[in-house]
Structures are given as structure tokens and as C-alpha cells.
A and B are shown apart, each in its own frame.
Chain A
Amino acid sequence: MTLALNTAIKLIPASQFTIEQLTAIYNQTRVDYLVPMPMNSTRLAEYISTYDVDLEHSLVALQDGTLLGVAMLGVRQGRAWLTRLGVLPNTRRNGIGETLTRGLIEQAEKLNIYFDMLEVIKDNTPAHRLFLKLGFYEVSELLVLRRPPFNQPPDTVVADAERLDRADALNLVRRDRGTQPWTNQSKSLFNASEVAGLRIMLVDGSRGWMVYQRQKFTLTRFIYKTESGNPADVAYASLSHLHNQYPRLDTHIENIQVTDPHLPAFYKMGYVESFRRIEMWRGTPPASLVGSSK
């Protein structure tokens, strides 16, 4: 049942709500999503911190005291990120999603930010259509991949592998990779705990590195680079060392571009596609972000 809304929708800064309240409204908006991705308050708090979500400029939609939806704004130098947008199922088709999205764009502009980024789950046609209407354009298609923990990795590829602690790992990603998908930008790694890395050199001289977050039960947030040689070979060697080092950890990586030349290594190592997202931008990336990434 869709409820008709007759009185004006109010947008309230999300900072006026507790994390528990925001978690509850977020989860309620997602119950019927293709990929619901519910969170508890601990996970939402970590999300806010890792992705620089600015609750002062994030919004909750309210009408007659009833919470209708939520939308969050990540803020970094020269760019903003629209995320966690959701509207309660029985109040959709009343323009609440559009009001929240327009509200976030205005909040970013108040911060003098005119370059906005977001990802939308592929085949979420209503949301995709809304973002196109509001001036967003498609940039790339992204993959979310999983690898189960009990999937025995193949033997490690013979290579000179050096483990890197947090400081050395973050040194590799230090430059601002500002037009990467938000979750994979350097700042997301700087904000994350338990970051480590691996530098690898193969017998043919190919070399590269991989930086990741090792959580209690999962490996996640991979950033990697091939400095010379075939990207798929270098990535496969890195993954073989990583998964032999952590054979009991589940792996969850997101927002890998479908055109990424390292991708064959992930499939060969037993990763499976979970779902896809479309990355969209609004406005032009500031010159300071262009040329330092992708």
C-alpha cells in the first residue's frame, strides 16, 4: 500500500538523531531492496567514520512526526558522496527520494562542493532514473565480489613477497585517488583500522603491491597496483600469498571496475560476483582530483 502524503516534507539534519535512530530508519527503508544490506549501529558508526559521512549535512525526511527516509552525505576535499539513500516502502512514489537527493545536492553546494558522486545498484531502475533526472551521468560499472573462507587457495606463486605494516601500506596509497569510487579512495583506507599490505616481485621481474583491511572475520577494502608486468599475473601472485596467509577469512571487496585488468586474477582465485553497481557523477571533478587516479 502506498500512502498519499498531503503535508510538506521536512528535511532535518541527521545529526539531530542518534545512531540507533538512524540505523532503525535506514534498515526500515531497505527491507524490500534487491540487496538490503541491513546494518546494526556499530556498523553504521564505522561506516560514518570510514567514509567521512557528515551528519550535519545528511538528512532525514520527516512528516507530521513520522520518519519517512534518510540520505547521507560524505564530504572530502572537493567532492561529496550521496549514500544510504532510502525511503520507507509504503511512502514511495511521493517524491521523498527526489526531495532528499535535491536536499543533499544543496547541502554539498553550501559547502562549496559542486562535484557529487554516488553508486546505484544495477537494475534499481527508479533510483537510476531519478539520478539521471537530477543531472547525474554514468561513469562506470562496478563489481562487488566475494570469496568464501573455506575455499582452499592454490599454492603460493613463487615470488619475493614482503609484508607491509600499516604505515608502509598507507605510504603506497598516500596520494589522493579522489575520482576512484568513494569506498576505494585513499581516505577510506586512512580512516580504516587494521590496514596492512603486501609488496610482491615475481621471478620475471613483474612487481606490484596490494593494500587491504583485515577485519576480525573478513579481508576487505583492497587497493592494488601493478608497477610492471601483466596486472592479472601480479594480482594473482599477491592473492595467492594473501589467501594462504589468511585461509580462514571471508573476503568481500567492492566497487572494482568491470574493465579492471586485474579482474581475471580474482576469478581465477575463486571470487564470485555478488552484484553490480553503476557509478554516477554530477558536475566535473575538480582539476586537483583529475590525473591523480584511475
Chain B
Amino acid sequence: MLKILIVEDELDTAELVRRILTAHNFEVFHAELAEDGLRQARAEKPDLILLDLGLPDYDGQTLAGWLRDDPDLNSTSIVAFTAWPVETAQKMAESYGCAGYISKPIESVNQFVRQIESFLSKSRTE
């Protein structure tokens, strides 16, 4: 079963993502803060990290930097999860070593799952 870590401080959003991904047979972990996100990433070695860029302790970019700096995690696929305008989201995701971004809010469950599967598939072929 593929593992996905969602780092998201908005609990309703995190719960929605957890339900969607669990229903599609992913194993889902959740961290509310950047520091906990790093701890869980090290412990669980997820296949993909869905990363909110705005977190209360350190922001998502800082966490992406820590993950990219960690030899055990630097090839893990990170996907920015953000409500930022498309151009900004794209720029930040690219600069901070993310595979891409998914816009919030989730408007189509099917599309969201397809995006996740596509990022996973790309990371497995790289």
C-alpha cells in the first residue's frame, strides 16, 4: 500500500484528504505542523508528501527545504497543496524542489485522486 503524508494545519481539509485517499487504498498519515511533518516523514518514509505551504510553526517552503536536505528523503515526491494563485504556487513549488502543486480547495475528488496518482507514477518512473 502506498503511503502519503499530508502536512496540513487546517483540520477539516486534512480530514477530507484522509478520507478520499484512504477510500482509494492509500495509507495516510497526517501532521499539523512542519516539525511533526519532518518527524513523520523520517519515521514513515512516505511515497508522497502533500504539503500545505502555510503552516503555523515553520512554513511549507521551510519544511520542503529540510526534506530536500535530508539524504533519506531528498528523492521523496513533495506536492505543494495551496490556495495561492497559480503562478505563485508554480514558482514556489519549482523553487523549493516540489514535483508540482495541487490547488485548494479540492473541487473534484476524481481529479484530485488522478493528480495524486500522476505524481506518484512520475516519481516511480524517475
Contact = CB atoms under 8 A, between A and B. Distances in A.
A37 B83 CA distance: 12
Contacts of B88: 273-275
B9 A148 contact: no
A128 interface: no
B57 A43 contact: yes
Given A146-B61, A150-B69, A27 B84 contact: no
A52 B64 CA distance: 31
A273 B61 contact: no
18 contacts: A33-B83, A37-B54, A39-B56, A43-B56, A146-B95, A148-B95, A148-B96, A148-B97, A149-B65, A149-B69, A150-B68, A217-B62, A250-B61, A250-B65, A272-B91, A272-B92, A274-B92, A275-B84
Interface in A32-76: 32-40, 42-43
Interface of B: 9-10, 33, 54-59, 61-62, 64-66, 68-69, 83-85, 88, 91-92, 95-97
A23 B124 CA distance: 40
A50 B83 CA distance: 28
A149 B57 CA distance: 18
Nearest to A42: B57
A213 interface: no
Contact of A34 (B66, B84, B91, B95): B84
B92 A150 contact: no
B83 A217 contact: no
Contacts of B66: 217
A146 B91 CA distance: 10
A34 B103 CA distance: 12
Given A42-B57, A150-B97, A274-B88, A36 B83 contact: yes
Contacts of A149: 65, 68-69
A140 interface: no
A277 to B, nearest CB: 13
Given A272-B95, A275-B88, A250 B10 contact: no
